[in-house]
């Protein structure tokens, strides 16, 4: 998954920091695979349109674990795409607590939520070392105007987000901690699979899990231990390793339909 942190240092060629032994960002072809897959999932059928969109990614940047990809404040006129790593959209409350709204994986748009709305209090942070691609917003608008399918795909993406939010709201209000955490883990298993990552490690810390589920870190810890006890997660500390996917699905009463884009506009 490439989620482990590696020593980084400034590269002579591309003048940006990246892990030793990896190529410069500029030279990395295929880095936008995840973006292409995302667009296809959103219903952009023609490869030419997908490619045209991918070509818009001209600038790439590495972000170190823990740093902000998108800061609060005045929005820039760019659209940021996560190409590698894990990030989260979050807001820090007055009392210092953090709410994670969504966790983002390669292919996800980081800051399109600010495309029209004045939500300047929401930031995006890198949960692991990340690589992002930057697209000028004007170019997005231009290509969307030319290709209705791309415009539609962006709308679909927003709808999917509504869907995920709705599920999160249900979870927070109606489900007790065990079911709630199991639900979130299930969502992540499915989403990781959807982008071709078939690992049994969920790349989240217990603290991130707490901020995402609205539980305290202490209670998340105790609940994780319950999930280990029943054999859903591995007993090893530090890290979330799924042992029994079925057990998790059962506990969460998980129904993945709210994530399913294939059924879109097929009624």
Q: Contact positions toward DNA, by CB under 7 A? A: 4-5, 7, 97, 176-178, 180, 205-207, 214-219, 221-222, 224-225, 237-239
CA dist 178 and 185 (Å) reads 11
Q: Does 170 bind a second copy (CB under 8 A)?
A: yes
> Do residues 10 and 16 touch, judged by C-beta distance below 8 A?
yes
Reported as half-sphere exposure (CB side, CA atoms, 13 A), residue 204 has a value of 29
- For the beta carbon of residue 3, count every other beta carbon within 10 angstroms: 16
Question: Residue 221 is encoded by which pair of tokens?
Answer: 């810890």
Q: Which does 222 bind (CB under 5 to 8 A by kind): DNA, a second copy, none?
A: DNA
Quote the least distance from Cβ 74 to DNA, whole Å: 27
- Beta 8-10 vs 17-19: how paired, if at all? antiparallel
CA dist 209 and 156 (Å) reads 26
CA dist 225 and 221 (Å) reads 6
Closer residue to DNA, CB minimum distance, 9 or 262: 9
105: left (phi over 0), alpha (psi -120 to 50) or beta: beta
Helix (H) or strand (E) holding 190: helix 177-194
Q: Does 217 bind a second copy (CB under 8 A)?
A: no
CA dist 203 and 103 (Å) reads 10
Number of residues that bind a second copy (CB under 8 A): 48
Q: Does 265 bind a second copy (CB under 8 A)?
A: yes
Pick the stretch among 2-10, 170-178, 200-208, 234-242 that binds a second copy (CB under 8 A).
170-178
Binding mask 80-119 for a second copy (x = CB under 8 A): -----------x-xxx-x-x-x-----------xxxxxxx
Q: Which does 2 bind (CB under 5 to 8 A by kind): DNA, a second copy, none?
A: none
Binding mask 33-52 for a second copy (x = CB under 8 A): --------------------
Q: What is the DSSP letter of 181?
A: H
Q: Which residues bind a second copy (CB under 8 A)?
A: 74-75, 77, 91, 93-95, 97, 99, 101, 113-119, 122, 145, 148, 151, 154-156, 158-163, 165-166, 168-170, 172-174, 214, 253, 257-258, 260, 263-267
């Amino acid at each position: 998954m490439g989620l482990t942190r590696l020593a980084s240092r400034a590269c002579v060629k591309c003048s940006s920091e990246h892990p030793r032994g990896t190529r410069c960002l500029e030279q990395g072809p295929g880095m936008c695979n995840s973006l292409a897959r995302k667009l296809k999932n959103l219903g952009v059928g023609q490869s030419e349109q997908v490619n045209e969109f991918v070509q818009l990614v001209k600038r790439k940047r590495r972000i170190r674990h823990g740093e902000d990809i998108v800061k609060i404040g005045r929005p820039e006129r760019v659209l940021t795409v996560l190409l590698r790593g894990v990030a989260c959209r979050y807001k820090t409350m007055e009392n210092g607590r953090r709410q994670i709204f969504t966790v983002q994986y390669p292919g996800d748009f980081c800051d399109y939520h600010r495309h029209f709305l004045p939500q300047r209090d929401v930031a995006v942070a890198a949960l692991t070392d990340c690589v992002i691609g930057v697209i000028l917003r004007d170019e997005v608008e231009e290509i969307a105007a030319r290709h209705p399918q791309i415009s539609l795909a962006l709308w679909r993406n927003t709808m999917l987000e509504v869907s995920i939010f709705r599920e999160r709201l249900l979870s927070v209000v109606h489900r007790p901690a065990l079911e709630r955490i199991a639900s979130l883990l299930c969502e992540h298993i499915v989403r990781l699979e959807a982008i071709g990552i078939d690992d049994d490690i969920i790349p989240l810390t217990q603290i991130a899990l707490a901020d995402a589920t609205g539980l305290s870190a202490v209670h998340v810890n105790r609940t994780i231990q319950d999930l280990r006890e029943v054999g859903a997660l591995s007993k090893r500390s530090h890290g979330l390793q799924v042992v029994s996917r079925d057990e998790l699905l059962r506990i969460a009463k998980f129904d993945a339909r709210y994530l399913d884009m294939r059924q879109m506009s097929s009624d």
